[in-house]
Amino acid sequence: MADIRVSEYTKISGVERGSLVDGMADREASMVYLWDAGPTAPTQPKRPIPPRGKEGEPEYDLAVIDFREALSVYEAELKAFSARKAEYARWEAQVGGAEEIKMWSVDARDALDRDSLAVKEKRQSSRRYFISARTRGFGSLPNGGLPDNMKPGARHFANLERERDGDSDLAAARRADPVFGAQETRA
């Protein structure tokens, strides 16, 4: 019997090494549930301030050149803002809030690290991914692992319903199986 440390999130105790359970436990224990809170609402870029002064003065002419450059950057930011706004609207229409996703532990670590780095570098205003209470060892997280001001979206509940339906279909198939289910005895 041994303890298996699959990742920093998961540890399994009392498993015999090399057994079938060992391999299955490693696989399931390597899975992490994350909440995907979706993209943050985009903020509109700020328009550059037009130059002040009189036309024909060197300072004014230099300011006009700087303004034109800033205006071209502003136009590019507006196009990006429009794309982010459409993406955010699509997310809200399809998902409607946070959604729970299942990832391998290494992918979850990568998603969490990249998410934290994006917030630190101010590429996004808040974190997108959070560890779910469904992850082994994190069952006591308040609000299921979501921040207090956030709730699961409609698609999350639809996914849970599909998961329950799949589990019940598998259980019915298992019961009907002649080897593993209700076995037939012949006289």
pLDDT of the chain along its 187 residues, tens only?
Answer: 666 665 666 666 666 665 544 455 556 678 899 999 988 888 899 999 998 888 888 888 899 999 999 999 999 999 999 999 999 999 889 888 899 999 998 899 999 999 999 999 988 888 999 999 988 888 889 998 999 888 898 888 888 899 888 888 888 888 887 776 666 666 5
Residues 6+ apart with CB under 8 A from 119: 125, 126, 127
Residue 118 resides in a domain: yes
Same domain for 56 and 70, yes or no, is: yes
3-state DSSP percent of the chain in helix, strand and coil, to 5:
50, 15, 40
Q: Look at residue 83 in the predicted model and tell me its pLDDT.
A: 93
Contact 36, 98 (CB under 8 A): yes
Find residue 32's DSSP bridge partners: 103
Q: Could you read off the pLDDT of 158-182 as tens digits, one per residue?
A: 888 998 888 888 888 888 877 766 6
Whole-prediction pTM = 0.65
Q: Which of 61, 79, 94 is the last residue before a domain boundary? A: 94
Same domain for 62 and 118, yes or no, is: no
Same domain for 111 and 90, yes or no, is: no
Q: Look at residue 18 in the predicted model and tell me its pLDDT.
A: 58
Q: Look at residue 176 in the predicted model and tell me its pLDDT.
A: 81
Residue 57 resides in a domain: yes
Residue 10 resides in a domain: no
Q: Which of 94, 112, 136 is the last residue before a domain boundary? A: 94
Q: Could you read off the pLDDT of 28-48 as tens digits, one per residue?
A: 678 899 999 988 888 899 999
Per residue, the 3-state secondary structure of 136-175, as one string, reads CCCCCCHHHHCCCCCCECHHHHHHHHHHHHHHHHHHHHHH
Q: Look at residue 21 in the predicted model and tell me its pLDDT.
A: 45
Q: Look at residue 168 in the predicted model and tell me its pLDDT.
A: 86
Same domain for 113 and 47, yes or no, is: no
Same domain for 176 and 103, yes or no, is: yes
Same domain for 101 and 145, yes or no, is: yes
Report the C-alpha dihedral over residues 52, 57, 63, 66, rounded to 10 degrees.
150
Residue 151 resides in a domain: yes
The number of distinct structural domains making up the chain is 2
Contact 143, 35 (CB under 8 A): no
- Domain containing 55 equals 39-94
Same domain for 89 and 103, yes or no, is: no
Residue 186 resides in a domain: no
